[in-house]
Amino acid sequence: MFPSARAALSLAARGIQHTTVRQAHRKHEPNFHDKYGNLVLLGGAAVFTSVWAYVLTQLGMEWGLSPVGRITPREWRE
User: Domains in the chain and their CATH numbers?
Assistant: 8-52 (4.10.51)
What gap in Å lies between CA 68 and CA 65, rounded to an integer? 9
* pLDDT recorded at residue 46: 97
What gap in Å lies between CA 19 and CA 24, rounded to an integer? 9
Residue 53 banded pLDDT, cuts 50, 70, 90: very high
On the question of pLDDT at 19 being above 80, the answer is no
More confident residue, 21 or 11: 21
What gap in Å lies between CA 32 and CA 46, rounded to an integer? 20
- The whole-number average pLDDT for the span 31-50 is 92
- The whole-number average pLDDT for the span 2-18 is 66
